[in-house]
C-alpha cells in the first residue's frame, strides 16, 4: 500500500520569508510518481509538479523548488520569498500503477500555509 | 473553458435523499477519476474509468454509491439514501495519459 505523510499541519510565515513543506512517502514499487498540488480557498486543485522515481534531479520553477531524495523517501517543496498569494493548502501525492493503467493518486493530509503581509 | 467541469458546484440535501453529480472531462481524455475530500483531509480515491469501463472501485464506495460513464464521455456519481457522513467535496479528474490528472472544481455536498 502507498502512504504519504505531511507532518506539518499548518505553517505561518511573514511575506518574503522562505518556507519548506515536507513530504515523506512509502511504497514498495520501484516505479512511482510524486506530485505537489496547491488548493487555494476556491477549492480547485492546481497541479504544480510531477516527478518520476528515476529522476532525482532537483527542480526550480521561479520561486518554487523541489528536492527529491530517494534515500530518505522525501519530496520537499520550498517557496522562496513567499507572497500572500501563496496562502493555500498544499498536497503531496504519490501514484503507482495499480493495474489497468490506473494511476490513482494517494494524497497526504496537506499543509495549510498562511503568508501574512 | 476547456477544463474539467462539475455540476452542481454545491448541493444541500436531507438525510435519506438521493443525489447525483455530473463530471464533464476534458474532451478526448479517456481516463476519469472520482475522489472524495473531507474537511482537513487530502482527497481519497473512489473510482476509476478507462473509457466507459469502470476498472477499479475503492472500498470507500459503499453499495449506496454508483458511478457510470456512458459512452466514455461524461460521468455521473450517484449516492442513494445519503447520510451525514457523506458530506464532503467530490472531485473529478480526467487524464489523457498516465500520470497527468486535471481536476475539476468539485461538488460540495452537505447532508443535513
Q: Is A117 on the interface with B (CB under 8 A)?
A: no
Residue owning grid cell 447520510: B83
CB-based contact A103 B98, cutoff 8 Å: yes
d(CA A117, CA B109) in angstroms, rounded, equals: 33
Q: What is the pLDDT along chain B (112 residues), one digit of tens a residue?
A: 579 999 999 999 999 999 999 999 999 899 999 999 999 999 999 999 999 999 999 988 889 999 999 988 999 999 999 999 999 999 999 998 767 889 999 999 999 9
Identify whether the C-beta of residue B103 lies closer than 8 Å to the C-beta of residue B4.
yes
CB-based contact A45 B43, cutoff 8 Å: yes
Residue owning grid cell 490528472: B101
Q: Residue B1: what pLDDT? A: 54
CB-based contact B31 A101, cutoff 8 Å: yes
Helices vs strands, H then E, count in chain B: 0, 11
d(CA A77, CA B88) in angstroms, rounded, equals: 27
Amino acid at each position: 500500500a502507498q502512504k504519504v505523510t505531511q507532518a506539518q499541519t499548518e505553517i505561518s510565515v511573514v511575506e518574503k520569508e522562505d518556507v519548506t513543506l515536507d513530504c515523506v512517502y512509502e511504497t514498495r514499487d520501484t516505479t512511482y510518481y510524486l506530485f505537489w498540488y496547491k488548493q487555494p480557498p476556491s477549492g480547485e486543485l492546481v497541479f504544480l509538479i510531477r516527478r518520476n522515481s528515476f529522476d532525482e534531479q532537483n527542480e526550480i520553477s521561479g520561486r518554487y523548488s523541489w528536492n527529491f531524495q530517494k534515500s530518505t523517501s522525501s519530496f520537499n517543496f520550498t517557496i522562496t520569498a513567499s507572497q500572500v498569494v501563496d496562502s493555500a493548502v498544499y498536497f503531496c501525492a504519490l501514484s503507482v500503477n495499480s493495474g489497468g493503467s490506473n494511476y490513482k493518486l494517494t494524497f497526504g493530509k496537506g499543509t495549510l500555509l498562511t503568508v501574512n503581509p | 473553458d476547456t477544463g474539467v467541469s462539475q455540476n452542481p458546484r454545491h448541493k444541500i440535501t436531507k438525510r435519506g435523499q438521493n443525489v447525483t453529480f455530473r463530471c464533464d472531462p476534458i474532451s478526448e481524455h479517456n481516463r476519469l477519476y472520482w475522489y472524495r475530500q473531507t474537511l482537513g483531509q487530502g482527497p481519497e480515491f473512489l473510482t476509476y474509468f478507462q473509457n466507459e469501463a469502470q476498472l477499479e472501485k475503492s472500498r470507500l464506495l459503499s453499495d449506496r454509491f454508483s458511478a457510470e460513464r456512458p459512452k466514455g464521455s461524461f460521468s455521473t456519481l450517484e449516492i442513494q439514501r445519503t447520510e451525514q457522513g457523506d458530506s464532503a467535496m467530490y472531485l473529478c479528474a480526467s487524464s489523457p495519459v498516465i500520470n497527468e490528472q486535471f481536476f475539476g472544481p468539485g461538488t460540495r455536498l452537505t447532508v443535513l
